[in-house]
Amino acid sequence: MGMTGRRERRKLATRTAVREAALRLALRHGVENVTVEQIAAEADIALRTFFNYFPGKEEALVAAAAAGAEALIAEFRARPATESVLGALREAVLAVADRGDATGRDYVRALQLVRRSPSLVPHQLAVLAAQERALAEAVAERVGPGTAGGIYPALCAATALTALRVVMDRWLERATDPEQPPPVDVLREDVDQAIAVLAGGLDRP
């Protein structure tokens, strides 16, 4: 791999370090008590470098949720073509929530932080909008050519992500330790229930 590849890897590593530092400090001290200067110091970078990656601390904080969302869509794309759209989404959600790596762990921690910090909600909504577009594209690829731009992929992505937000919120509500999410088995039950409801349709007599 050439210079460009190395440079891209370095940039990604720096972005990850800043994101992780921001999350670590905010979980420890609260969003309102953390400054950009502290995040830069924690990540061992110059303040100027911080602003090369993020316009402010809120964007750095929700970046962990964005990375988790990207991982979710990557997992969805990797599911076998034999699985239904909702079946593939179920497996992708549980795979990310159950991941022992930094991305999976920080995704859940970022969601916990957003629940406790109203100032992060508008930034989280921007992440969700981007996630929705990316998932709609992935759904269109899965269900076949000619569906891109149609209502099904867009509606499916929006509905599924709203269901996921409800389920994750219910799951995190049950946390007894703010630093530690509840067991994934609890999440699995709610995910299964949400998928069954969506698969059955929302209409009621």
What is residue 194's predicted lDDT score, i.e. its pLDDT?
92
Specify the pLDDT at position 68: 84
Q: Out of 6-10, 63-67, 148-152, which region has the weakest mean confidence (pLDDT)?
A: 148-152
Question: Does any domain span residue 151?
Answer: yes
From residue 84, alpha-carbon distances to 74, 76, 79, 144 in Å are 16, 11, 10, 12
| Structural domains counted in the chain | 1
Percent of the chain residues past pLDDT 90, beyond the cut:
47
Largest distance between two CA atoms of the chain: 62
The pair of structure tokens assigned to 50 is 């911080």
Q: Does the pLDDT value for residue 32 go beyond 90? A: yes
b (16+ CB within 10 A) / e for 26-54: bbeeebeebebebbbebbebeeeebeebb
pTM over 0.95: no
Q: Is residue 41 part of a domain?
A: no
Within 10 Å of residue 77's Cβ, how many Cβ atoms? 15
Range of the structural domain that residue 81 is part of: 57-200
30 in any annotated domain: no
- What pLDDT digit, counting tens, does each position of 74-99 carry? 999 999 989 999 999 999 988 887 77
Q: What is the pLDDT of residue 47?
A: 94
Give the separation between CA 109 and CA 96, rounded to whole angstroms: 13
Q: Does some domain include residue 17?
A: no
Q: Which two tokens stand for residue 196?
A: 């069954």
The residue-averaged pLDDT of 118-124 equals 87
Single out the residue of 123, 134, 124, 187 nearest to residue 157, CA to CA: 134
Residue 34 lies in a domain: no
CATH number for 80: 1.10.357.10
Read off the pLDDT band of 1 (50, 70, 90).
low
Q: Is residue 141 one of the residues assigned to a domain? A: yes
pLDDT in tens, 154-197: 999 999 889 988 998 888 888 777 667 778 888 889 999 999 99
3-state class (DSSP) for residue 80: coil
| Location of structure tokens 């959600």 | 93
Question: Is 38 a domain residue?
Answer: no
Tell me how far apart the alpha carbons of residues 103 and 97 are, in angstroms, rounded to a whole number: 10
Quick one: pLDDT at residue 181? 75
Token pair 């497996």 is found at 91
Is the pLDDT at 40 greater than 90? The verdict is yes
